[in-house]
A and B are shown apart, each in its own frame.
Chain A
Amino acid sequence: MVVQGVKTVSKAQNGLGAFILQCKRIDFHYCDWAGSSRGMKSFLTSPLLAQFTSRYPGVEFRVSPRPNKHPILKAYYINGREKAVCVRNLEREQILKKADFLVANSGKKNELIRGKTVVSQNENVRGIWSPMHGGIKSI
């Protein structure tokens, strides 16, 4: 009988040591003609854009026209998913809030989680209670 090693799978714990931002790219799309991208164009020409992009040096930002369409923000994440937010008729501060959210997001699907605020991969610190061990009372 050969002793076999226990297979362990490395678990992803982003932020425990190093922290990697999950968003890798954000596209800003606007239209020169349509009025719905008025706020988007003012955002792109304002110093808000430079302030926002300078806070995240690890993220790629692209600005490109998208004619005859509403303006959108499109974020690409490390897990391969992408999220797009339509920002038609929004002011530039609102667009900044949307961009802040997209950068901070993890790229996963929005799931309804009830009650599970703490998710742990560790074993229980105090162990599991057993009726066979300890605390046995004599009747």
Chain B
Amino acid sequence: MPSRLPSQASKSYGTLRQPPQHRSHHISSRTLVRSALDISARTSTISQPPTFLLPFRASLHQASTQQAVSPTSQFHNTQPEIPPPLLQTTDVNALSPSPESSESTSITTAPSTTQSLSQPLVLSRSLQEFLPKLCVQKPHYIVAHIHRFPYLLTEGDTLRLPFHMKGVSPGDVLRFNRASILGSRDYTLKAGTSNTESYDAKRTGEPTYLDERLFECRMRVVGLETGPMMDKEKKKRRNRHRKIVHSKHKYTVLRVMQIKIKNLEELNQEKATLLLES
């Protein structure tokens, strides 16, 4: 990983132009480096647009254990293709048949993911009650979304993406910030269901996501794979001409390094982001 830094620095265009708008929902460590270069270039150059014209950026909130590793690092907050709806309810349902969980209170309104980093993170009383239990119960799973598609992941899984992710190289660490479900054996934290009707019916809407400050999901780029060469014969009737089309697709392979659900103390340590309802 550190050996790639000089090659990044040698790319002169990376320092001059505006940071690229990544439309996908992942943040690579390469864009991290590029953003670091952008920051240094932007402070030096005077021809800089005002702050409100700059592309929206915000720092993903690291846990307190990892803040020491990259204190100055800033991530690009990726814009989703369709902005998620404003209302996002968070349900905490305990699967155990206790009377308090049978109420299944879903009052919490966490703000949407794009504006969430500027707005405070609001936790309802039920979330305050059940989030520590979810954190403690250790094997976690997450339903992470890339380009709106859900992938159910646990730690150590191999995810073979159905496309070739550009701009990453093996060894890079990505952080997924779109997830709809976090869970353990007995507890599940779901994003709200305000938009799921249209999402399920026609698969056109954007699913609702959890607030990205609640969890950390890190993926490592393991490599690039291909399928075998596929041959397809194209033939029209009453015509002797036949054409054979060859196709060979590439797929990026990722491995889940870490799925971490932040507990209340870590959320409290973030500066002025937490607002507890009581």
Interface residues, chain A, CB within 8 Å of chain B? 13-17, 19, 21-22, 51, 54-57, 100-101, 103-106, 108, 110-113, 116-123, 125-127, 134
Contact = CB atoms under 8 A, between A and B. Distances in A.
Given A110-B226, A125-B183, A15 B220 contact: yes
Contacts of B170: 19, 21, 103-104
Contact of A106 (B169, B230, B253): B253
B225 A119 contact: no
What DSSP secondary structure best describes chain A's contact surface? loop
A21 B97 CA distance: 48
B7 A101 contact: no
Contacts of A116: 160
A111 B158 CA distance: 16
Contacts of B156: 13, 16, 120-122
B216 interface: no
Contacts of B220: 15-16, 19
Contact of B257 (A15, A21, A111, A121): A15
A116 B161 CA distance: 10
Nearest to B140: A125
Contacts of B38: none
Contacts of B256: 16
Interface residues of B, number: 42
B224 A19 contact: no
A120 B139 CA distance: 13
Given A15-B220, A15-B257, A125-B183, 9 more contacts: A14-B222, A16-B256, A19-B222, A104-B170, A105-B226, A113-B227, A118-B160, A125-B185, A126-B183
Contact of B171 (A19, A54, A126, A134): A19
A51 B3 CA distance: 11
Contacts of B226: 101, 105, 110
B184 interface: yes
Contacts of B255: 13-16
Contacts of B10: 51
Interface stretch (B20-28, B146-154, B195-203, B262-270): B146-154
A118 B152 contact: yes
B222 A106 contact: yes
Interface in B29-77: none
B250 interface: yes
Contact of B228 (A16, A111, A122, A134): A111
- Nearest first, the 6 closest Cβ-Cβ pairs linking A and B are A104-B224, A15-B255, A15-B220, A125-B141, A120-B157, A110-B228
Contact of A127 (B4, B169, B171, B185): B185
Contacts of B139: 122-123, 125
B80 interface: no
Contacts of B206: none
A104 B223 contact: yes
A111 B227 contact: yes
Interface in B209-246: 220, 222-230
A101 to B, nearest CB: 6
Between B159, B220, B222, the greatest number of chain A beta carbons within 10 A of the residue's beta carbon is seen for B222
